Structures are given as C-alpha cells and as structure tokens.
Amino acid sequence: MIHLLRQDMTKDRALAALQGLAIGDALGMPTQTLDRATIRGVYDRITDFIDPVRGHPVSHGLTAAQVTDDTEQTVLLARRLIADKGGFDAKAWAEDLILWETDVLARRLGDILGPSTRAALTALRAGATEAEAGRLGTTNGAAMRIAPVGIATPPDPARMQARVAQVSRLTHGTGEALSAAVAVAMVVSQGLEGVAFEDSLPLALAAAETPLPGTNPEAHRAMVHQIRLALDLAGQGEAVLAARIGTSVQSLQSVACAFGILRLAKGDPWTAALIAANIGDDTDTMGAIACAMAAACSGTAALPADKVATVVRRNGLDLGPLVTGLLALRWGR
C-alpha cells in the first residue's frame, strides 16, 4: 500500500511539473523580451493570461494562454525520450527540432526559436555533426525543456548528469548551459520523490557544479555561483533580482534568476509564474522553469485548477500519456 501511495504521489508531481511549466510559459508569453518599464507601461502588471500587445516583437500571432517554444520543445523532448525507450537518438532529435521549426514558420509565429538552438540547427544544415552543432550554446534552451529528463531519471547525480548531457549537447554543449539544466532536472527529480524545493538545493547544486567531460569546470562553478547569489538576493525582491542577476536568455542570468524567483515565491508555483511574467526580458522561460520546479515539489494541488484547465484546453495539451511514458523510464519498465 505504501509503495502504491508513493507511486501515486510521483505520478501526481510529474504531471504537475509539466502543467506548471506550461502555465509559467503561457503567463510570461505576452511580456517576453520586454523590459520591466515597458511591461509596466503596456500591461501595468500581469495577473492572468492575456493577449500580447499589438505588434509584439516575438509573441505576435499568439493569444492569451498560448504557450511558446518552452512548452512545445518540452513536449517534443518527452516524446523523443519515450520513443527511444531509455536510449537517445541524437540524429532523430535533430530531425525533430528541424521539423518543429518548419511547423512554427508554417504557423506564421514570431521569432520564438532560441539563439543557441537556431545556431545549432543552422550548423547541422551546413553539414556539422551532432557533436559539433551545439558546442557554443550558452543560453537557457536546455534548461527550459529539461523537465522530462528530471521526470524520467531518478535523482542520482552521476546518472542525471550523463542523461542531461546526452539530450542537451546537440544545441547546448557548454558548461554553463549543461550545469543549469542539471540543476533544474535534479530539483524536478527530487520533487517527484517528495523533496521540498529548499531541501532539493544541496544535491541539485552539487550535481550542477561537478564538471562534465569536455566542459570548462569554471563555467560550472560560475553557474552555481549565480544560482546561489540569486537565492541570496531573493529576499530583496524582483527588482533587485532583475538588476543584479539579469533576465536575458543567457543561462547565467535567466536560469539563476528562476531559482531566485522560486525562493521569492516561497515555493508557490502560481506566485512564481506571476513574478516571472513581470520581471522582464525572458519572462516565459523563467516562468516555465520556476513553475515546473515548484510544481514538481508540491504537486497538482498547488496549481490553480482553472489555470491548468485553460492552458491545457487552449493548447490541446495531452500530458497524461507523456507522464506515463516518462515514469516507465524512471521505474525501468
């Protein structure tokens, strides 16, 4: 009975992680790339899902509660992990991303592809190998879509590091990007085991600080230093976080800031999503990361049911089969 109850908790938190990621993404969609002053001037303050302002530089073509590349690539990676049944076909993953980008262009959406992923896909089309394509990727694309790896992989640091590197190097092969993704995945994975966000940090940051083969150890240490600094600054509010840590697409800024946002929100997913949506710049990605970690550590009961229903319906998300497939990998089935 205890075993079954634990499995139920793990399944609930896995679903919550994906739901939370989508909510944080959708809430931040109208404000992404805009600075804090512009957000205040255009929207006053984001308190719910809304349409982007007319002529938005990135989100034009989207409407309230729609998600962006953060959620779409997370779903794409989850499907690839499930299809590969514990392995990982980097060539097929590259094809997945290229087909996804083609679909985005066909939908006439804005420039939602991250710079490191775009550079990697361009390199692949020019003849680069999968190993070469992402060697310079320093931005947050790996961390934004890493939640499925956290769901599919138990919180063993060495195993998590290897898995994160395996699925991320195609587009993000640098120490800071991989370190950031390891930290996020370890929080998600521990959350599924019933660990609270604050209690997950020691193991997550230790794993993130351990250099991966072929990366610069200093980059790993710098990433963890930024996360620790963001956590320390959280008590001073979102304005200080934005000013001192930064909120750009660079992992050293937005991923670190997402950790600070979650501490500022005291672990609450919706509060974290609201803070991220108003903090400026890469708001959707910080919201996706912070809300995914928060929800993984607290479960579906911590998410506003009406907000979940809105985002799921608006985007046609079918997350249940993804959770089932990812947990089958986690449990070795």
Decide if domain 2-330 falls under CATH 1.10.4080.10: yes
Question: Residue type at 259?
Answer: F
Q: What is the pLDDT of residue 126?
A: 84
Domain ranges of the chain: 2-330
Percent of residues, the chain, with pLDDT higher than 70: 97
pLDDT in tens, 77-127: 999 999 999 999 999 999 999 899 888 888 877 556 678 888 888 888 888
Q: What is the pLDDT of residue 291?
A: 98
Q: What is the pLDDT of residue 64?
A: 98
Neighbouring-strand partners of residue 250: 139
pLDDT in tens, 243-277: 999 999 999 999 999 999 999 999 999 999 999 99
* pLDDT tier at 324, thresholds 50, 70, 90: very high
Rounded Cα–Cα distance for residues 16 and 280 (Å): 25
Neighbouring-strand partners of residue 139: 250
Percent of residues, the chain, with pLDDT higher than 90: 85
Which residue in 155, 114, 121 sits closest to 254, CA to CA? 114
Rounded Cα–Cα distance for residues 263 and 52 (Å): 27
Residues 6+ apart with CB under 8 A from 110: 56, 57, 58, 59, 60, 61, 62
Q: What is the pLDDT of residue 282?
A: 98
Give the chain's mean pLDDT.
Answer: 95
Q: Indicate the pTM of the whole model.
A: 0.96
* pLDDT tier at 294, thresholds 50, 70, 90: very high
Which of the two residues, 104 and 76, has the higher pLDDT score?
76
pLDDT in tens, 144-171: 999 999 999 999 999 999 999 999 999 9
Rounded average pLDDT over 172-200: 98
